[in-house]
Structure 1
Amino acid sequence: MSKEQKMAKVAFIGLGVMGYPMAGHLAAKGHDVTVYNRTDAKSEAWVKEHGGNKASTPRAASENAEIVFCCVGNDDDLRSVVLGDNGIFAGMATDAVLVDHTTASADVARELGNIATERGLHFIDAPVSGGQAGAENGILTVMCGGEQAPFDRIKPVANCFSRAVTLMGPVGSGQLTKMVNQIAIAGVVQGLSEAMNFGQKANLDMEKVIDVISKGAAGSWQMENRGPTMCKGEFEFGFAVDWMRKDLGICFEESKRNGARLPVTHLVDQFYAQVQGRGGKRWDTSSLVHLLQND
């Protein structure tokens, strides 16, 4: 990384379970970071831990920043911090880049991308995969939508908290890629849940089973990282059922527009609704197995 890149002036908006460590990696790599969080105490804690500065509004945080990173909850949260007199766009200098890591709709990405262009700014939708552990360890996968030139500017900086930062196409393409990711995960976790429960019912040594089959065609990240804890009924590992249902809802809305059929995903979403009904709103997504273990 060049000296210029190390000294980049950046802002980070949203210090949740993902944003807090992501911003920390930026500071650790030498960037000049200003943070904003809706709850100011979180900003104070971050500055105490990592240095840098905090701001009282998204606009103030974004002033003079070359790159503004953002990671909030949903479309409405995103609009609330980007638009308006105290929003990110109001503070950004001409030619600066907003990189949005929120998992949101492709529609809001295109909406903000158009507004950015009108204002002489750049917008890149950049949802991530890897969960809280990926953010903390700096090994996220980032799926981007936007123009090549601003992407080339932000990639070395985003690499501070990532192991892969890839431009997928025009604005909105990052969000669409994340939808593909979530659809795939939903099916994999349900299949894994049924497999783990079957093995337990058959009185197999599941530690040995996972060790053997994870090395073959059935192997997956979910099996290696969640299989053992699923068998123990432990579901406290980051990506919550509530968040997954939000993401799947975005997938369903997009599928209405593009005509893609999602029969298995709709079924798994119903199972997640049952998990929520059992009090598992904040359980890890691997808690699908709870429905089978406790039917």
Structure 2
Amino acid sequence: MAKVAFIGLGVMGYPMAGHLACQGHEVTVYNRTTARALQWQEQYGGEIAATPREAALGVELVMVCVGNDDDLRQVVLGAEGALAGMAAGSILVDHTTASADVARELAVQAAEREVGFLDAPVSGGQAGAENGLLTIMVGGEAVFFQRAEPVIDSYARMSRLMGPVGSGQLTKMVNQICIGGLLQGLSEALHFAQCAGLDAEAAMEVISKGAAQSWQLEHRHQTMLAGKFDFGFAVDWMRKDFAIVLDEARGNGAQLPVTALVDQFYADVQAMGGGRWDTSSLIARLKRKA
């Protein structure tokens, strides 16, 4: 069992930190909204810290799961940031979906304090976090990953070291590129089936047993047909992730025409008031235009 800190108790971090406590790890949490931390403590026990620095004092691992690059810098750097409280030999594990650049930046800052660093974004959404079935893609040194992996496994179905620092974030970008394209294709398929007079539910049941099968088809087609989107990974978050992806592509020369187009389709969904809808809501803009 390890002594760990968890910083950021959003829809992902809250259950992830809970799994750590349930597995018997000694957990101290920090959240910008204290009421959320108090709620977590009432449910799981553990300790609450007033600042990220205080949360990091005397722990072996600090896990962070916040919103974006700037949020990450705020809780890690500075006099009250996590690094200020971390001891030499401890490890900072960042589960935020952020840029590869900020991962490399924080790795340098951590190394100056003799602290290990892993960028470890997650996939699986809120349900994956709640059920402890996240897929975690990791960048960093193997020695740090080997030490952190048994703790990370508290909320992971799979974790894998993908390469040096930044590789975890780059792999998460690959993940988001795939999801965006799959959801747009599924939206068009469902819309076409309905316009053609088919039983769209029956069509999905048939094609799910063939080459068109995917997690999105299996788990989202029914709610998409019903127009239910008040759950899951929000459109606002996907657009944040796509901004990171497209910025990285401009730097490495990758051509992402479909991703750029789907990003604009998500902008349409936002304009419809769907910023907090699940990413499967791409079908809503097709129905609106029909």
Q: TM-score range by the shorter chain?
A: over 0.9
Partner of residue 145, structure 1: 139
SS at match of 1:160: coil
Partner of residue 210, structure 2: 216
Q: Is the 8 A contact 1:206 1:228 kept in 2?
A: no
Q: Is the 8 A contact 1:11 1:69 kept in 2?
A: yes
Partner of residue 33, structure 2: 39
Query: Counterparts of 1:227 and 1:95 in 2: how far apart (Å)?
Result: 47
SS at match of 2:15: helix
Unmatched tracts of structure 2, length 5 or more: none
Partner of residue 123, structure 2: 129
Query: Counterparts of 1:213 and 1:223 in 2: how far apart (Å)?
Result: 9
The Cα offsets for residues 107-139 of structure 1, whole Å up to 9 and x where unpaired, read as: 000000011111100110000000000000000
Partner of residue 99, structure 1: 93
Whether 2:272 is the aligned partner of 1:288: answer no
**Match runs of 1:106-117 below 5 Å:** 106-117=100-111
Whether 2:43 is the aligned partner of 1:49: answer yes
SS at match of 2:277: coil
Partner of residue 224, structure 2: 230
Query: Counterparts of 2:66 and 2:246 in 1: how far apart (Å)?
Result: 21
Unmatched tracts of structure 1, length 5 or more: 1-6
2:161 partner letter: L
The Cα offsets for residues 10-66 of structure 1, whole Å up to 9 and x where unpaired, read as: 000000000000000000000000000000011101000001101000000010110
**Match runs of 1:166-177 below 5 Å:** 166-177=160-171
**Match runs of 1:214-293 below 5 Å:** 214-293=208-287
The Cα offsets for residues 244-285 of structure 1, whole Å up to 9 and x where unpaired, read as: 000000001101110001101111111000000000000000
Partner of residue 205, structure 1: 199
Over aligned residues, Cα RMSD in angstroms? 0.6
Partner of residue 190, structure 2: 196
Partner of residue 11, structure 1: 5
Give aligned pairs, total.
Answer: 289
The Cα offsets for residues 205-246 of structure 1, whole Å up to 9 and x where unpaired, read as: 222211111111001000011111111111122200000000
Whether 2:112 is the aligned partner of 1:118: answer yes
Query: Counterparts of 1:200 and 1:226 in 2: how far apart (Å)?
Result: 16
Q: Is the 8 A contact 1:210 1:228 kept in 2?
A: no
Aligned-pair identity (%): 65
For normalisation by structure 1, the TM-score amounts to: 0.97
